[in-house]
Amino acid sequence: MYNWLMKFFSADMAIDLGTANTLIYVKGRGIVLNEPSVVAVAENRLLGRKEILAVGAEAKQMFGRTPGSITAVRPLRDGVIADFEVAEEMIKYFIRKVHHRSPLTAPLIIICVPSCATQVERRAIQEAADAAGARKVYIVEESTAAAIGAGLPVEKPLGSMVLDIGGGTTEVAVMSLGGIVYSNAVRTAGDQMDLDIIEFVRKNKNLLIGENTAEEIKKKIGTAISPKDKANELTMKIKGRDLLSGTPRETVITESQIASALAQTVTKIVDTVRHALELTPPELSADIADLGIAMTGGGSLLRGLDAAIRAATGLPAFLVDDPLACVARGSGCMLTSLDKNKHILQTMY
């Protein structure tokens, strides 16, 4: 009876709990939250526990700029919970921010996880949402939500391929008749691209930069394919700490240098797609040749990545509308038609 009543008073939601960003879709309102998955934590030695100082965009501004007593952390790594206590507080904060109902009401929540998440990791995510005050928690694989959000004909007897590149994982899946025929995830994605840029700048420019600077470089001049016209390529001024003198220094980095820095990660993503195609049944392969490969997630925004995949596979690859919100949009569609989609939703207990 309690659960039946809660249906009418709670704002049920779908959460794309990403390594880099968390998006929340609320039933009847659409996507209402898109914030970085970052938490600023202070260690309270007197009480022997952590205190949450800031969450989301406010905490991300502190990244690399905090004093010794405060740490800006990402509680999720590779798409799964790395710090349970901090992740639980982050989920609670985001739910309270969008759930403007009485604290006595509890929402039904759908949470997306990568296909490479183990049963233990899935259970940890469900327990974190339960502790945050959920009435019922369902787990869905990101690739399924991404395919639905991209508008692919997943319910039809046709092969649809989706490539979801997030912050922590790259996931490729082939779907038909509402189910996953093949899926694979590698823990190489947007965050690895940032680390590649940091390492390249350190080795070739003798300059140390932070994650926020690396992400800015990736967004502004990042590319998967080195430009042919070197005379007119994009450049960017960057600042960091000189490794030899220890003083701040400014230098210029070019588009082709970033393409070189990202080459290994781009190759791994392309190889993941090629391997998926090799293991796809022939009839579905024919459908994918017609429909193409749908690219979703923030990592797919890297310039030239679609062209690199087309060159390697010979198949059309296209970026969906608003790829960052695709997984949240797809899980929101499942929330709207919950009874229809219960066969692809999981619950760990």
Across the chain, which has 349 residues, the per-10-residue mean pLDDT values are 50 89 91 92 74 88 77 84 86 83 71 86 86 87 92 90 93 90 90 96 95 94 90 92 94 95 96 94 92 94 95 94 93 88 76
Exposure letters 270-291 (e unless 16+ CB within 10 A, then b): bebbeebbeebeeebbebbeeb
Q: How many helices (H) and strands (E) does the chain have?
A: 12, 18
Q: Quick one: which of 146, 153, 150 has its CA closest to 169?
A: 146
What 3-state DSSP class applies to 158? Answer: coil
Query: Is domain 157-188+265-323 in CATH 3.30.70.1450, yes or no?
Result: no
CATH number, span 190-262: 3.90.640.10
> Using CA atoms, how far apart are residues 67 and 69, in angstroms rounded to an integer?
6
Q: What is the pTM of this model?
A: 0.88
List the alpha helices (DSSP H) in 113-183: 119-131, 142-149
* Length, in residues, of the chain: 349
Q: Where are the domains of the chain?
A: 1-36+77-149+324-349, 38-73, 157-188+265-323, 190-262
Contact predicate 296/163, CB 8 Å: yes
> Using CA atoms, how far apart are residues 91 and 233, in angstroms rounded to an integer?
42
> Using CA atoms, how far apart are residues 283 and 59, in angstroms rounded to an integer?
48
List the alpha helices (DSSP H) in the chain: 2-9, 57-60, 84-98, 119-131, 142-149, 190-205, 211-221, 255-278, 282-291, 305-313, 326-336, 338-341
* Res 347: pLDDT: 79
* Res 10: pLDDT: 62
Q: Which CATH fold topology does 1-36+77-149+324-349 show?
A: Nucleotidyltransferase; domain 5 (3.30.420)
* Res 222: pLDDT: 94
Q: Do domains 157-188+265-323 and 190-262 have the same CATH topology?
A: no
> Using CA atoms, how far apart are residues 175 and 158, in angstroms rounded to an integer?
8
* Res 234: pLDDT: 92
* Res 346: pLDDT: 78
> Using CA atoms, how far apart are residues 343 and 214, in angstroms rounded to an integer?
41
* Res 80: pLDDT: 80
Q: Which amino acid is at 237?
A: K
* Res 133: pLDDT: 81
